Amino acid sequence: MSKVRIGILGSRFQADCIAGAVKAMPEEGEVVAVASPTKGHAAAFAQRHSIPRAYTDHRELLRDPTIELIWITTPNRWHAQMTIDAAKAGKHVVCEKPLCLTLEEADAMIDACRKAGVLLLYAEELFFAPKYLKAKQLADEGAFGRVHLVKQGEKHSGPHSEWFWDVAQSGGGAVMDLGCHGIAFCWWFLGKPTIKSVYSQMATQVHHERSQGDDEAVTIIEFGNGAIGMVESSWNRPGGMDDRIEVFGDKGQTYADMLMGNALPTYSEVGFGYAVEKAATTKGWTYPVFEEHWNYGFPQETRHFARCVRGKETPISDGETGRVVQEVLYAAYASAGLGRKISMPFRPKGIAKPIDLWKKPELAKAAL
């Protein structure tokens, strides 16, 4: 079967991950074009990854008839518009997390793709991270008995690009940026049960001058099957990306540290090139990772999505998955705003971005 021809929107951090992931799965797909608005960025990206075509406007890329699948790696506020444009152009879509800013956007994205008969795939790579997948296989085999608590934490020193800190472009802070992974993870790990309630404690602990966004949060999700998900999100942890899970059942438990647990505990007085994402230094004690993209699951995610386009696999993460996460994000911010647990479903209308439910609790109250 021929390779899936992919066009990437965006040309920085996540675009690099995806271009690298596609190269790691050369039998499944190839990146044939990239679009990015800053003059020279798309061209430099194309040269770096040997991509034949580069555009400065995503609509130009969408007119390219050879492209089958669009991979959106642009700031959150662009996700909905680009998905809808891509669907109208008859292209399948992979959208990076979080799906979008609002529930209305989520519905419009799902609707546009359904009407156009194209796939809307939601890029949650934790569903493919080998260590986490192994934990789920053990749980599904019954190794831990009845699982009643799943914890996921994602923490680093704060995002690399300015737009993440601007809540008008990102929709929120650490919960929006990192919590979306943990919300999706706990839900998926437990077999996608109904969600009963959400409670979140959040604050801007460190970065007041830089952002109105939350930079530290603990979010507790109560599932219909009685299990609890606990998601820790932080932009206040120097020392490189920290991503780990804990799973507890009545017959056992498991712990998985995706990055540091797969790294080489290393001491260097002089430093070296690269340790791990968001590590500010390589001097002293560090945890250089190997096979970083593989440990995250990016190549495996790419293979799955390419095979979905070819009809060989059924999506395990789609627009509906992203929408579930979006609802929990709304509830988390509303919970922080009101200082109480939010019962689900919670689907307020007309909210411009999730963080508004924290900053303006009257919006959350009106929606109860």
Ligand X SMILES: NC(=O)c1ccc[n+]([C@@H]2O[C@H](COP(=O)([O-])OP(=O)(O)OC[C@H]3O[C@@H](n4cnc5c(N)ncnc54)[C@H](O)[C@@H]3O)[C@@H](O)[C@H]2O)c1
Query: Which residues in this chain contact ligand X in the complex, by CB under 6 A?
Result: 9-15, 35-38, 41, 58, 73-76, 78, 96-97, 123, 125, 161, 163
- C-beta of 333: minimal distance to ligand X in Å? 17
Look at residue 191 and give its three-state secondary structure: coil
d(CA 85, CA 24): 28
> E strand or H helix at 301, and its extent?
helix 298-309
Give whichever of 39 and 208 is closer to ligand X, judged by the CB atom: 39
- C-beta of 57: minimal distance to ligand X in Å? 7
d(CA 228, CA 230): 7
- C-beta of 252: minimal distance to ligand X in Å? 29
277 C-beta neighbours (distance < 10 Å), count: 16
For 79-194, where are the E strands, in sequence order? 92-96, 120-123, 147-155
Taking a C-beta distance cutoff of 8 angstroms, is the pair 254, 135 a contact? Answer: yes
Give whichever of 94 and 364 is closer to ligand X, judged by the CB atom: 94
272 C-beta neighbours (distance < 10 Å), count: 11
For the chain, where are the E strands, in sequence order? 4-9, 29-35, 53-55, 69-72, 92-96, 120-123, 147-155, 195-203, 216-223, 228-234, 242-249, 253-257, 266-268, 284-286, 342-343
Give whichever of 163 and 199 is closer to ligand X, judged by the CB atom: 163
Give whichever of 17 and 218 is closer to ligand X, judged by the CB atom: 17
Give whichever of 99 and 116 is closer to ligand X, judged by the CB atom: 99
- Chain-centroid distance of CA 358 in Å reads 21
- C-beta of 167: minimal distance to ligand X in Å? 13
- C-beta of 41: minimal distance to ligand X in Å? 6
- C-beta of 74: minimal distance to ligand X in Å? 4
226 CB-contact burial (10 Å; exposed 0-12 / middle 13-18 / buried 19+): exposed
Give whichever of 78 and 346 is closer to ligand X, judged by the CB atom: 78
